[in-house]
Structure 1
Amino acid sequence: MGEGQLRICVIGDELTAGTGDARGLGWVGRVMARTTTEEPAFVAQLAVPGESSTALSARWETECRRRFGAHTDNRLVIGLGSTDLDEGLSLARSRLNLANILDGAAASRVSCFVVGPPPRPAADPEALAALSQAYADVCQRRHVPYAETFEPLRTHEQWHADVAAGDGTHPGQAGYGLLAWLVLHSGWHDWLGAEPAS
């Protein structure tokens, strides 16, 4: 880890806030529960429901700057959703929006971790697969860890059953547990320089 207190800003849509989770943890709370840091980390969940990557790229810096410190270990977690498809954004625009966030963070010496969009019942699976791959490519080119969630959950019975059992859009406890597992097994602890919780 870097110097000073670990400060993590998590930006994204309502999935980063754990909408639909009866325990109120979402995947962020579950991931942090499995993460041991030298001193207590500050975690800010800055979610906006139904947010596109365009809106995300416009607000992240202003919101995160208020939470980051000059002498703290500042990290940015980006939870991407499928709203870009609903709004008809091109893959090129979605890629550019993510690239702008990552490049801006790098210029401010803020390390990033990106979580890709999981399957959503209303989203076309082929279009969402292409969007996730586009995001993965942007991250790979910048050596930023990317947690692929679409392909592992695309035909995962428990994921789809959990979403269907809720409001038909958001997962419940089981689904968020699956998302947390995917994040934890995509280089999370190496990225933080932290230890898995026992």
Structure 2
Amino acid sequence: MRICFVGDSMTNGTGDPQHLGWVGRVLQDERKRRSELTGYNLGVRRDRSDQIRATWRAEVERRLPAEFEGRVVFSFGVNDAAQEIVPEATLGHAEAILSEARARWPIFMIGTVPMPDEAIRSRSRALDLAYRPLCAGLGVPFLSVFDGLVATPTWLDEARAGDGAHPGAGGYRRMADLVLASEAWRVWMA
């Protein structure tokens, strides 16, 4: 099985001194059950939903040839929130991406993450809430990690102590734990 993780710097794991991010930690855990698993982190720092929409397919197709079982995980939107892109535009891009991807591969969507800046955090939260009905309407499994990351201080404290946006190893470990503990993820990976 091959899985592509498509998104922004939070998907990339920017700020993690161990260079794993949440994606690397999820893959470490999943490889205990599936030794043949290959993961591709396609997170690009500062990418907005429109930029992801323009590039995701070519990047994923190169890594998921038809002869292998392929899956795609998407997680993006915080850059849209930070750059004050209107939510309708972000949701339109997300709908187009998810609709196109699900026609070819099993896909999974992970919502947005909190930011230390209160205005950005509020816009990111609104996007996270809007992703749930969008994904439900498309039949795409969705996981919100927003409240789980806010519930413990690690994510936001590490982001504040770092570059003001990205957590360190502890924050990404927390996100990976939320993903791995979710029933939606376990069902999707079965």
Q: Give me the TM-score of the superposition, normalised by structure 1.
A: 0.87
* 3-state secondary structure, aligned to 1:180: helix
Higher relative contact order (CA 8 A, sep 6+): 1
The correspondence of residues 44-123 of structure 1 with structure 2, limited to 5 A, is 44-108=40-104, 110-122=105-117
- Give the deviation of 1:19 after TM superposition: 1.2
Q: Residue 189 of structure 2 corresponds to which residue in structure 1?
A: 192
- Give the deviation of 1:94 after TM superposition: 1.2
Q: Deviations over 1:12-53 (max 9, x none)?
A: 111212111111111011111111444411211112111111
The letter for the 2-side match of 1:19 is T
Taking the aligned partners of 2:97 and 2:3, their CA distance within structure 1 comes to 15
- Give the deviation of 1:163 after TM superposition: 1.7
Larger helix proportion of the pair? 2
Asked if structure 2 preserves the Cα contact closer than 8 Å seen for 1:85 and 1:123, the reply is no
Asked if structure 2 preserves the Cα contact closer than 8 Å seen for 1:147 and 1:182, the reply is no
Asked if structure 2 preserves the Cα contact closer than 8 Å seen for 1:148 and 1:182, the reply is no
Asked if structure 1 preserves the Cα contact closer than 8 Å seen for 2:17 and 2:168, the reply is yes
Asked if structure 1 preserves the Cα contact closer than 8 Å seen for 2:70 and 2:106, the reply is yes
Q: Residue 9 of structure 1 corresponds to which residue in structure 2?
A: 4
Which 5+ residue runs of structure 1 have no aligned equivalent? Answer: 1-5, 194-198
Asked if structure 2 preserves the Cα contact closer than 8 Å seen for 1:115 and 1:149, the reply is yes
The letter for the 2-side match of 1:88 is E
The correspondence of residues 22-33 of structure 1 with structure 2, limited to 5 A, is 22-33=17-28
Q: Deviations over 1:84-123 (max 9, x none)?
A: 1233322221111111111101222x11111111111236
Superposed CA RMSD: 1.6
Q: Give me the TM-score of the superposition, normalised by structure 2.
A: 0.90
* 3-state secondary structure, aligned to 1:44: strand
Q: Residue 141 of structure 1 corresponds to which residue in structure 2?
A: 137
Taking the aligned partners of 1:117 and 1:74, their CA distance within structure 2 comes to 23
Taking the aligned partners of 1:153 and 1:25, their CA distance within structure 2 comes to 17
Taking the aligned partners of 2:11 and 2:21, their CA distance within structure 1 comes to 7
The letter for the 2-side match of 1:189 is R
Which 5+ residue runs of structure 2 have no aligned equivalent? Answer: none
Q: Residue 196 of structure 1 corresponds to which residue in structure 2?
A: none
Asked if structure 1 preserves the Cα contact closer than 8 Å seen for 2:77 and 2:127, the reply is no
Asked if structure 1 preserves the Cα contact closer than 8 Å seen for 2:14 and 2:45, the reply is no
Q: Which has the larger displacement, 32-41 or 10-19? A: 32-41
Taking the aligned partners of 2:33 and 2:148, their CA distance within structure 1 comes to 28
The letter for the 2-side match of 1:191 is W
Taking the aligned partners of 1:37 and 1:75, their CA distance within structure 2 comes to 16
The correspondence of residues 143-162 of structure 1 with structure 2, limited to 5 A, is 143-162=139-158
Taking the aligned partners of 1:103 and 1:168, their CA distance within structure 2 comes to 33
Q: 1:181 to 1:21 in 2, by over 3 A?
A: same
Taking the aligned partners of 1:88 and 1:167, their CA distance within structure 2 comes to 19
